[in-house]
Amino acid sequence: MALVEHWIWAGNWNPLIDEIGHMAGEVLDVGLRKILDDDLKEADTDASPPRWASCQFDGPHPIAAWFGIDQGTDVLLVRMEVPDHLSIRAETMLDLMQSYALVSPG
C-alpha cells in the first residue's frame, strides 16, 4: 500500500469521490455519498485534535481515504492508502484537482 496525500479545491469533491470509487472498483450509492457529505461538513483540520472524515472504499482494489476541510478556505486535504499499482494514478488525479475545477457529468 502507498500513502498519497495532497490538497485539492473543495469544488472537486464529487469528482474526487467518484474517481476514488472507480479506482477501488466500487460504485458509490446515494446513501454512502450522503454519509460522506455529512462527515465532510464536520471535518476541521485546524481543530485540536484535527477532525477528518474517513471512508473505506471496498472493491477489488480497496482504498482507505481521509478528507479534511481547511476551515475558512476552499481547500480540501486528502489522504489515501492505495494499492501500490494505483499510486501514480492517485497522485495524478490529485495534481489535476489542484490545478483545475472538474465537473461530474450529469
The tens-digit pLDDT sequence of the chain (106 residues) is 999 999 999 999 999 999 999 999 998 888 888 999 999 988 888 888 889 999 999 999 999 999 999 888 899 999 999 999 999 999 999 999 999 988 766 5
Rounded CA-CA distance 60/30 in Å is 21
Rounded CA-CA distance 73/102 in Å is 18
pLDDT at 45: 86
